[in-house]
């Protein structure tokens, strides 16, 4: 990480010196590999010290600030300057110095600062202690003892937790800054905790504080000689990020034992992992067995079959009309339907070669359609028929499946991109409600699932014949997670380095795998058993399809009967009268001849 030199030049008159200021600045630049310097001036500041400093910094690019400049110290990062930087400021009082450092962004807490002036050891020690409390440990003091303030002695803070004022050289400081926090001497670190597997598992009654994020934090504190002090949030048994962040704001905890999505309200460790959020949606649900009657064939196939029945029935009826002199639509309709059901049928009123042609054609078509239908029906009876899979956000909206989120999730979604199409089906509920339904994978709702939790949910369903839930194959949101902490917490950058090393070595993945098994083992989540393969008593559901087919057949027969009766009632009188006129005409014709 690049280093920043921040110089406070305090103008004083000194009588003797040990180190030359200009040469010491040049040596400090070389030791820290400074690439850019920032000089902050005061209108009343004498110019001789700046001339000497500018000579020492002639080989390093510099940027000039003054109090009348519209730019502020809090916007240094906006300049996008190569780091580290060197800043020179006038002599401040202790209160002014603390206020000055308050303006600096938290990204500069890892930077180096050189304070130049002449004061007592007690005052220097008090100033160093105040800066450490603000999160700026890398401070080197140049106590002027020579005339003109250009020669003096170097002082810095001792190792934590004593932090005694110690005289040093440039080389001593460059070594010490790498080892400030090697041994924190039992420093108590308050960690706000709540349950959020696999990142944190909190069971104080069993003295269990686990989870891959919390274990990493505990090992880091133990390695640095700090004492882990758990601070439970009011609702620690469920996901409670708001309580954790509230504790940090109120200075009731130093850090949260959980990885949360980065945003600007609190300080975060640097993030080296990339988490994405999916929506855990229910798998396709089985359709009602009533649907199995029409499931083997698509709508176009059913319409084509109805068209075949109508055309064939009409054609056979026309043949019958030509041969027998009457229409028999109802009887032939039942015969054609019987052929499709592989039931015996007879075209009794058709004679001659037309009978054999029509019978063989109807038989072949009915045989093929019936076997095609039965083959597909046997397949779906063994595998089941399910609703179409949800594959997009539009499908979720069409199914009207509510996405359960909590208040913290809503706040994060307002910061990061969230699809507008999903807000209408998003339901804001409490985290206990989400946890209760997500534990059993209630298919009535959809749930948020981060990438590190997807493995846990898959592990929970590993013995199921067909998993109840699956992630939607679309990334909903991407975030950079980190440990939230107090703005002035001194261990921020060391913890960031630990996270980087754990990520690069694969330790985070190993801890996550162990936590998944531990989460199931302690009973926070239960493995969902597979559906048992056993014979069960028949229920009314098994008789629905035969009953529907029976009623459907009776309706067709009844309709055919009604049509036949109406047809005969209309055409029989006409046929009888025509026959009587034909007989009379035949009798009259021989007499006339």
Helix (H) or strand (E) holding 229: strand 227-232
Q: How much is the pLDDT for 77?
A: 59
Integer Cα distance of 483 and 498 in angstroms: 12
Q: Residue 60 above 60 pLDDT?
A: no
Q: How much is the pLDDT for 42?
A: 56
The chain-wide mean pLDDT, for the chain, equals 77
Integer Cα distance of 57 and 66 in angstroms: 18
Q: Residue 270 above 50 pLDDT?
A: yes
Q: What is the DSSP letter of 269?
A: P
State the average pLDDT over residues 221-248. Answer: 90
Confidence of residue 78 (pLDDT cuts 50, 70, 90): low
Angle between helices 212-223 and 507-521 (to 10 degrees): 120
Counting other chains too, the contacts that 323-329 makes at CB distance below 8 Å and 24 or more residues apart are 323/349, 323/350, 323/351, 323/352, 323/354, 324/349, 325/575, 326/571, 326/575, 327/567, 327/571, 328/564, 329/563, 329/564, 329/567
- The encoded tokens of residue 238 equal 């469920």
HSE at residue 453, side-chain half, CA atoms within 13 A, is 20
b or e along 442-463 (b: 16 or more beta carbons within 10 Å of the residue's beta carbon)?
eeebbbbbbbbbbebbebbbee
State the average pLDDT over residues 123-152. Answer: 79
> In this prediction, what percent of the chain has a pLDDT beyond 90?
8
pLDDT tens per residue across span 79-90: 555 555 555 554
Worst-scoring range by mean pLDDT, 54-68, 90-104, 328-342? Answer: 54-68
Q: How much is the pLDDT for 217?
A: 92
Asked if residue 198 has a cis previous peptide bond (ω within 30° of 0), the answer is: yes
Instruction: Give the pTM.
Output: 0.70
Confidence of residue 156 (pLDDT cuts 50, 70, 90): confident
Integer Cα distance of 316 and 335 in angstroms: 10
Q: Is there a contact between 15 and 147 (Cβ–Cβ < 8 Å)?
A: yes
Asked if residue 161 has a cis previous peptide bond (ω within 30° of 0), the answer is: yes
């Amino acid at each position: 990480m690049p280093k920043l030199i921040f110089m406070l030049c305090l103008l004083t008159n000194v009588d003797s010196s040990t180190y030359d200021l200009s040469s010491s600045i040049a040596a400090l630049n070389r030791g820290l590999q400074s690439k850019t310097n920032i000089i902050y001036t005061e209108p009343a500041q004498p110019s001789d010290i700046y001339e000497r400093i500018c000579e020492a910094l002639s080989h390093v690019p510099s940027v000039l600030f003054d109090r009348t400049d519209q730019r502020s110290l809090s916007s240094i990062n906006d300049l996008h300057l190569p780091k580290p930087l060197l800043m020179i400021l006038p002599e401040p009082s202790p209160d002014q110095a603390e206020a000055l450092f308050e303006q600096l962004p938290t990204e500069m807490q890892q930077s180096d600062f050189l304070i130049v002036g002449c004061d007592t050891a007690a005052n220097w020690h008090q100033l160093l202690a105040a800066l450490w409390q603000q999160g700026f440990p890398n401070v080197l003091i140049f106590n002027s003892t020579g005339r003109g303030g250009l020669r003096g002695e170097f002082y810095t803070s001792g190792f934590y937790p004593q932090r005694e004022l110690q005289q040093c050289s440039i080389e001593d400081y460059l070594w010490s800054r790498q080892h400030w926090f090697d041994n924190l001497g039992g420093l108590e670190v308050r960690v706000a905790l709540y349950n959020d597997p696999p990142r944190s598992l909190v069971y104080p009654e069993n003295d269990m504080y686990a989870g891959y994020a919390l274990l990493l934090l505990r090992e880091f504190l133990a390695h640095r000689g700090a004492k882990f002090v758990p601070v439970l949030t009011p609702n620690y048994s469920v996901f409670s990020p708001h309580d954790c962040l509230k504790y940090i704001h109120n200075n009731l905890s130093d850090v949260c034992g959980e990885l949360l999505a980065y945003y600007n309200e609190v300080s975060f460790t640097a993030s080296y992992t990339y988490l994405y959020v999916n929506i855990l949606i229910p798998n396709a649900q089985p359709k009602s067995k009533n649907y199995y009657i029409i499931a083997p064939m698509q709508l176009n196939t059913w319409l084509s079959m109805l068209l075949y029945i109508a055309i064939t029935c009409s054609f056979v009826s026309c043949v019958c009309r030509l041969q027998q002199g009457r229409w028999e639509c109802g009887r032939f309709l039942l015969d054609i339907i019987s052929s499709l059901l592989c039931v015996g049928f007879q075209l009794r009123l058709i004679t001659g070669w037309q009978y054999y042609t029509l019978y063989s054609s109807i038989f072949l078509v009915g045989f093929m359609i019936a076997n095609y239908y039965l083959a597909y029906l046997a397949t779906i009876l063994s595998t089941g028929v399910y609703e179409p899979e949800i594959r997009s956000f539009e499908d979720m909206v069409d199914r009207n499946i509510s996405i359960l989120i909590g208040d913290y999730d809503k706040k994060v979604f307002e910061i990061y991109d969230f699809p507008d199409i999903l807000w209408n089906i998003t339901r804001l509920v409490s985290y206990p409600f989400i946890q209760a339904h997500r534990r059993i994978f209630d298919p009535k709702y959809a749930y948020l699932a981060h990438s590190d939790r997807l493995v846990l949910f898959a592990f929970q369903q590993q013995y199921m014949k067909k998993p109840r839930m699956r992630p939607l194959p679309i990334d909903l949101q991407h975030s950079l997670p980190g440990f939230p902490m107090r703005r002035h917490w001194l261990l921020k950058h060391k913890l960031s380095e630990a996270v980087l090393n754990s990520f690069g070595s694969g330790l985070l993945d190993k801890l996550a795998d162990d936590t998944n098994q531990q989460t199931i083992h302690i009973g926070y989540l239960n493995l969902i058993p597979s559906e048992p393969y056993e014979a069960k008593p028949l229920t009314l559901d098994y008789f629905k399809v035969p009953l529907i087919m029976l009623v459907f057949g009776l309706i067709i027969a009844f309709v055919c009967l009604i049509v036949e009766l109406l047809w005969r009632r209309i055409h029989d009188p006409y046929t009888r009268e025509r026959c009587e006129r034909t007989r009379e005409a035949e009798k009259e014709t021989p007499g006339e001849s």
